Amino acid sequence: MSKSPPSIALPLAANADSVAPPKPLTDPAPAVVPSPLFALRQGIPASVYWGLAAVGLLAPIALWMLAVASGRVEPVFLPGPAQVIERVQMWWVDGLLGDIGISTMRVVVGWALASLIALPLGLLIGSWRVVQALLEPMMDFIRYMPAVAFVPLVMVWVGIDEGAKVAIIFIGTFFPMVLMVAEDTRRVPMAQIEAAQTMGATRWEIVEKVILPSAKPALLDTLRVNMGCAWTYLVVAELVAANSGLGYSILKAQRFLQTDKIFAGILIIGLIGLVIDQLLRLAHRKAFPYMHTR
């Protein structure tokens, strides 16, 4: 009778829980903490904001000075900042303030007339699909037409006085503004409208007391953006038999190859636009402080 082979006793662990887990070969990398300056849609300190804004404004001027100092570009094509400042001083003596005043008047009047009509019209388009179907395709069609193409027609229809210049700015600003106002109106949450309907509000009451108050912050931003658009049409508007204004002076300087005056006019228009933009931003912060708490 055969014998079974002797069994070999294996040592058992005293406690399975006491076995240490294997040690990783490398230590885990520390968690990367994102910089608070690059947090999405979060505020940054005012000092940092204004410092970055100054860098953004001064960097192009520094590049401009370097390009002039290199001597690779003729001054007639790229005048230096010193030449431009000297030209501004000469222009000041020749009536720069008058040119600024008349150009600002033309832009503001054209923008104000466009706003006066575009705000209620865009509100109607954004509130009623019937009005949207009737008017929005036409507005989309016309807004792609260049405003400069209307100059001959405006001269025939309006004449060559101040009304023609205001009309060009109006045409260039009105149609995009209508569509932007309509889009701002459509962004009002439907839940607010339905809540007003359940409380028995009429259609006009909903427009007056729900849609309009809810859209006001976006509407003020739309007006601010379109003010910038109005300034871009200034030179085109002053093509129409003008004898004063910043745009007229730029066009006149082009005829005599006064590049420094062209640069001066462009920079002055940009500076005026920046001041107006900041004033409208300030008005937005004052009117809707709850949107600027962060």
pLDDT of residue 244: 86
Note the pLDDT tens digit of each residue in 8-32.
Answer: 444 444 454 555 556 555 655 555 5
The answer to whether the CB of 107 falls within 8 A of the CB of 231 is yes
How far is the first Cα of the chain from the last one, in angstroms, to the nearest whole number?
A: 92
Six token digits for residue 54:
């100054």
Q: Work out the angle between the directed axes of helices 162-186 and 129-143 (0-180°, nearest 10).
A: 130
What's the pTM value of the predicted model, to 2 decimals?
A: 0.81
**Which of 74-88, 146-160, 187-201 has the weakest average pLDDT?**
146-160
| 39, 42, 51, 60 from 35: Cα distances, Å | 7, 11, 17, 27
Note the pLDDT tens digit of each residue in 217-234.
Answer: 999 999 999 999 999 998
pLDDT above 50 for 73: yes
